[in-house]
Structure 1
């Protein structure tokens, strides 16, 4: 059947029309939009469908993965995008778009639905571990924000439980992280993991890590940060060995990422696997493959041996959430 799907984030939104069946989905039309260029989701989708031609014919069902909490039930959902002033209502969207049904789900719920549709080449192992068939899974991903999801085996497939665990309290684990925590607490009052594990979080680390006398970002890094995406500039300079402070910030980011992923895995006993999604992980894969991430992941005292048995994978397909939303739209059609 033909479905409309969307991956709605604070920075970008991906929209897709696809032909889906039990074997997967075939893309008919896809487009990327800058989210903050629109006042809401409806005008964006209407513009997309108006140029989709035959691909838009016969659409009845849609699902949008939303970067933010979703409330409601099977009869209707409401959502607010965390990093945008958008308030969404599934019933209103369906009426505006002329569809029989629109479903809203959390963006990492969509990622969870998409995992089993990925080829093995899209899953990069950081730790092989021992996968328990049907065991709980977790997905975590840093990007514009920090998303999480929990996957439970139910009725012969994985059902995804949405989470806003990225907004739990940041727990620093070394002196540098404590210094960052104190600086951010003075600024915000409360410090969540998203304040340090996100694009803006990487910038926060660069700004607030303790520095040796005279240690400053290079003029080249400052220029690159002002000219484009600051987090991308920090990552690029760190990975290329072009700025020592950027390297320190990225190493701190990786350690916090590993510790947070380990916390989530331990909470759920994720014997089915730990999956890293989001826009940042694939871009810093060389650093994730090095020691600090997995060292921090396993650094759980008496539970270290247990953490060493859990499979850990990086999802390198940036459209896994879009794929998951398309599959969810198909399922919602019955």
Structure 2
């Protein structure tokens, strides 16, 4: 794959954002204007039809003439030291490799549900729908659960000043049944799999 020449970012450069999942990869380009992100274009790609993220980015940027100065990708799996392996795909995503391949000065990876948690902080009351009313603590910690191809979980921890999103792989914790029906479900699943996580029960494959 031909590498693009690395360059220094500029305030008018485009921003590339991506949500990388086991079923689909969603890429979008934005331009920053007065601290507001203006969407330029976006596209969905079936993840399993590509060997890696580089193939998708190359196709997405093929006809883009404006330079990309920054990129950030939410990865459906743990991210350690700028590298992330997607849980339900044979992809290894590397921020340093992406910078070198596409000449993007700044590339960051983070867990996909952690990225969703950052986005949740920008929501207003009009964006929310209450499923089960409770007695919330205005400044209490929060949990975010996202059932898709896998079961993603993240935390929003209140540090006394602001909420801090934290990634979690809680969907891979063992399923703990609470009643007779759930015990029967666990026994059935143990006949199919060596271990049964919550992701086996509540996700695309589980449902």
Tell whether the structures are fold-level matches, with TM greater than 0.5: yes
Which one of the candidate residues 38, 43, 48 is aligned to 2:55? 43
Alpha-carbon distance between aligned partners in 2 of 1:21 and 1:182, rounded to the nearest angstrom: 55
Aligned residues of 1:91 and 1:101 also touching (Cα < 8 A): no
Please give the secondary structure, in 1, of the residue aligned with 2:206.
helix
Structure 1 pair 24/137, CA: closer, same or farther in 2 (3 Å)? farther
Aligned residues of 1:81 and 1:87 also touching (Cα < 8 A): yes
Please give the secondary structure, in 2, of the residue aligned with 1:50.
coil
Please give the secondary structure, in 1, of the residue aligned with 2:31.
strand
TM-superposed CA distance for 1:21, in Å, is 6.1
The reply on whether 1:58 has 2:67 as its aligned counterpart is yes
Identify the residue that residue 144 of structure 1 maps to in structure 2: 149
Per-residue CA deviations over 1:145-184 (Å, capped at 9, x if unaligned) read 0000011234843221100000000011222221221121
The reply on whether 1:99 has 2:104 as its aligned counterpart is yes
The structure, 1 or 2, with the larger RCO (C-alpha pairs under 8 Å, 6+ apart) is 1
> What RMSD in Å do the two structures reach over aligned CA positions?
1.9
Alpha-carbon distance between aligned partners in 2 of 1:155 and 1:33, rounded to the nearest angstrom: 40
Please give the secondary structure, in 1, of the residue aligned with 2:101.
helix
The reply on whether 1:120 has 2:148 as its aligned counterpart is no
Identify the residue that residue 198 of structure 2 maps to in structure 1: 193
Aligned counterparts, 1:1-334, within 5 A: 1=11, 2-20=14-32, 24-51=36-63, 53-54=64-65, 57-72=66-81, 77-154=82-159, 156-202=161-207
TM-superposed CA distance for 1:88, in Å, is 1.2
Please state which structure has a larger fraction of its residues in helix.
1
Please state which structure has a larger fraction of its residues in strand.
2
TM-superposed CA distance for 1:123, in Å, is 1.2
TM-superposed CA distance for 1:141, in Å, is 1.2
Please give the secondary structure, in 1, of the residue aligned with 2:140.
coil
Query: Please, what TM-score do these two structures have when normalized by structure 1?
Result: 0.55
Q: How many residues align?
A: 195
